[in-house]
Amino acid sequence: LNWTGVDMEDAKKIKDYKVIPGGTITQRKGSLVTVEGIILSFEPDIISLDDSKEARAKMICGHAISTESMTALIRSIISEGRYQIICPGLKTDGTACEIEWSYPACRKIGVLTRDEEKEFETKLSMNFVNRDPHMGECSKCHVAIWNEDLNMIRVQCVNCRKKKQAVDFCWRFLREWKGVLSEDCGNPECTGIGYKIRSLK
């Protein structure tokens, strides 16, 4: 934690720093040198190509990446609607590396703040749900649900059913079922094409 340019020590209390009411305390990223369980490297950063003598993390594929580049990479992946963190580097033969990095390792290397952890994990989870055609969100309680049979387009949420509040909704459109036929949900905006398929085109 940092207050007006001063790093706040764990052993002290906030009042020891004479924090002004309404003032902002920021959380700074730490150094990779203090992070346990990673291999340090002084190879150029795989994204920024920075070749300064800053300590970077050596990934399982051998590429090196800094704290800042890792954070930026995760943010970029989220903004593109993806949930897998793939190495953006190249192999020695010039082909894409494409090795997947685990999120726990990336979180550690990015030295994420609490706010970043909450933001990234929520958005990565939502990207996963939106990408998997078998996963959807209940239109009523907004809980993620699983649909094994994609031919079954008129479904109910298990969570709502337990609360005796279940309503039928369209799996393709993720809105309440308004029609009387088994193949037409009655929503004029529903094109009959799954929303996930449309979003991936």
Asked whether residue 130 carries a pLDDT value surpassing 80, the answer given is no
Measured CA to CA, the distance from residue 7 to residue 57 in angstroms comes to 24
- Higher pLDDT pick, 100 / 10: 100
Asked whether residue 171 carries a pLDDT value surpassing 90, the answer given is no
Alpha helices in the chain (DSSP H): 67-79, 103-109, 114-131, 158-162, 195-200
Measured CA to CA, the distance from residue 115 to residue 87 in angstroms comes to 24
Measured CA to CA, the distance from residue 72 to residue 27 in angstroms comes to 17
Secondary structure class of 56 (helix, strand, coil) = strand
- Higher pLDDT pick, 144 / 106: 106
Tell me what the pLDDT averaged over the chain comes to.
Answer: 82
pLDDT, residue 200, reads 40
Measured CA to CA, the distance from residue 64 to residue 40 in angstroms comes to 8
Could you give the count of Cα atoms lying within 13 Å of 60 in the half-sphere of its Cβ? 11
Report the share of the chain in percent with pLDDT over 70. Answer: 80
Written in H, E and C, the secondary structure of 1-27 is: CEECCEECCCCCCHHHHCCCCCCCCEC
pLDDT, tens digit (0-9, with 9 covering 90-100), for 36-72 = 899 999 999 999 999 988 899 999 999 999 999 999 9
Q: Are 33 and 42 in contact (CB under 8 A)?
A: no
pLDDT, tens digit (0-9, with 9 covering 90-100), for 65-80 = 999 999 999 999 999 9
User: Structure pTM?
Assistant: 0.61
> pLDDT-derived band of residue 199, with 50, 70 and 90 as boundaries?
very low
Phi, psi of 85 (to 5 degrees): -100, 105
Q: Are 200 and 131 in contact (CB under 8 A)?
A: yes
Asked whether residue 159 carries a pLDDT value surpassing 70, the answer given is yes
Measured CA to CA, the distance from residue 65 to residue 96 in angstroms comes to 16
Measured CA to CA, the distance from residue 166 to residue 160 in angstroms comes to 5
Measured CA to CA, the distance from residue 147 to residue 157 in angstroms comes to 10
Measured CA to CA, the distance from residue 70 to residue 111 in angstroms comes to 9
Amino acid letter, residue 97: C
Cα-Cα-Cα-Cα torsion 200, 103, 65, 81, nearest 10 degrees, comes to: 20
